[in-house]
């Protein structure tokens, strides 16, 4: 666990009330790993809310003609994600009940509704995803809801290889995995990289 990251997260909690921390980075950067490590290290004081739960369903992507670009900014329900962040920010311990968030299941490549409970008495919500700092395609409303946004930096060659291996684990051939990484993931990564200057801190892993 990155000790500086852990110290920054604890400092957010110490400010009191509900706090939201956003972790941003390109596909394969390790956002979900860092986010889970933080939640585990904070032992009950934090809960994880991934952006990936707001993937549009495959049937909707097919209807819109976007199935071949799954993972691009317009293949998510950005408005739904923002609305949930607003609900989570407004939660107050002792007054409000649990808010439920969707979870993306890679084994079926679909989001599952109401899979993640977010209790009102947990002080820190850690949310992670690609487009938290994007200012187009309906994403501009995310950044104002975050108390801090961190950009997760990783060696680019390692990141790209991780993606190829991930795609192969979930059923693609090596050739198809490399084609998807180059044709879909990499353009998204370049778009995300251009948002890094909006982050409050760059977290190297």
DSSP H/E element including 8: helix 3-14
Task: Supply the pLDDT for residue 204.
Answer: 81
Q: Which long-range contacts (CB under 8 A, 24 or more apart) does 154-163 make?
A: 154/25, 154/28, 154/29, 154/30, 154/204, 154/205, 159/26, 159/27, 159/28, 159/29, 159/30, 159/189, 160/28, 160/185, 160/186, 162/28, 162/30, 163/27, 163/28
Count the neighbouring beta carbons within 10 Å of the beta carbon of residue 134: 21
With beta carbons less than 8 A apart as the criterion, state whether 195 and 134 touch: yes
How far is 113 from 116, CA to CA, in rounded Å?
A: 8
Angle, CA 31 vertex, CA 30 and CA 36 arms, to 5°: 100
pLDDT, average across residues 144-169: 91
Lowest mean pLDDT among 30-34, 87-91, 127-131, 139-143: 30-34
Q: Sort 78 into a burial class: Cβ within 10 Å, 0-12 / 13-18 / 19+.
A: buried
At 2, the pLDDT band (50, 70, 90 cuts) reads confident
Among residues of the chain, what percentage have pLDDT more than 70? 100
Task: Measure the CA–CA gap between 82 and 76, rounded to whole angstroms.
Answer: 11
pLDDT, position 184: 84
161, containing H or E segment? helix 156-169
Q: Positive or negative, the Cα torsion across 197, 199, 203, 205?
A: negative
What is the domain count for the chain? 1
pLDDT digits (tens, 9 = 90+) for 74-129: 999 999 999 999 999 999 999 999 999 999 998 899 999 999 999 999 999 999 99
Give the model's pLDDT for residue 154.
86
pLDDT tens sequence across 169-199: 988 999 999 998 888 889 889 999 999 999 9
Confidence of residue 51 (pLDDT cuts 50, 70, 90): very high
For 61-77, what is the mean pLDDT?
Answer: 94
User: pLDDT band at residue 166, thresholds of 50, 70 and 90?
Assistant: confident
Q: Report helix, strand and coil shares of the chain as percent, to nearest 5.
A: 45, 20, 35
CATH code of the domain containing 88: 3.40.50.300
The mean per-residue pLDDT over the stretch 9-36 comes to: 95
Q: 66 is in which domain, residue-wise?
A: 3-204
**Biggest alpha carbon–alpha carbon distance for the chain:** 53
> Is residue 205 scored above 80 in pLDDT?
no
Categorize the per-residue pLDDT at 163 as very low, low, confident or very high, splitting at 50, 70 and 90. Answer: confident
Measure the N-to-C terminal CA separation of the chain; round to a whole number of Å: 9
Average pLDDT, the chain: 94
What are residue 100's DSSP bridge partners?
A: 117
| Of residues 167 and 100, more confidently modeled | 100
């Amino acid at each position: 666990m990155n000790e500086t990251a852990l110290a920054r997260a604890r400092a957010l909690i110490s400010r009191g009330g509900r706090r939201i921390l956003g972790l941003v980075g390109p596909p394969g950067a390790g956002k979900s790993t860092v986010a889970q490590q933080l939640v585990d290290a904070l032992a009950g004081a934090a809960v994880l809310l991934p952006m990936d739960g707001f993937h549009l369903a495959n049937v909707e992507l097919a209807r819109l003609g976007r199935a071949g670009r799954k993972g691009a900014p317009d293949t998510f329900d950005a408005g739904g994600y923002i609305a949930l962040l607003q609900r989570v920010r407004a939660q107050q311990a002792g007054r409000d009940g649990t808010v439920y968030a969707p979870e993306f299941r890679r084994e079926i490549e679909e989001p599952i509704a109401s899979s993640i409970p977010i209790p009102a008495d947990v002080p820190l919500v850690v949310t992670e995803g690609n487009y938290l700092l994007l200012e187009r395609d309906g994403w501009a409303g995310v950044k104002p809801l975050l108390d801090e946004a961190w950009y997760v930096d990783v060696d680019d060659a390692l990141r790209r290889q991780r993606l190829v291996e991930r795609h192969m684990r979930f059923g693609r051939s090596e050739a198809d995995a490399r084609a998807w990484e180059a044709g879909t993931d990499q353009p998204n990564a370049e778009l995300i990289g251009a948002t890094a200057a909006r982050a409050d801190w760059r977290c190297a892993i």
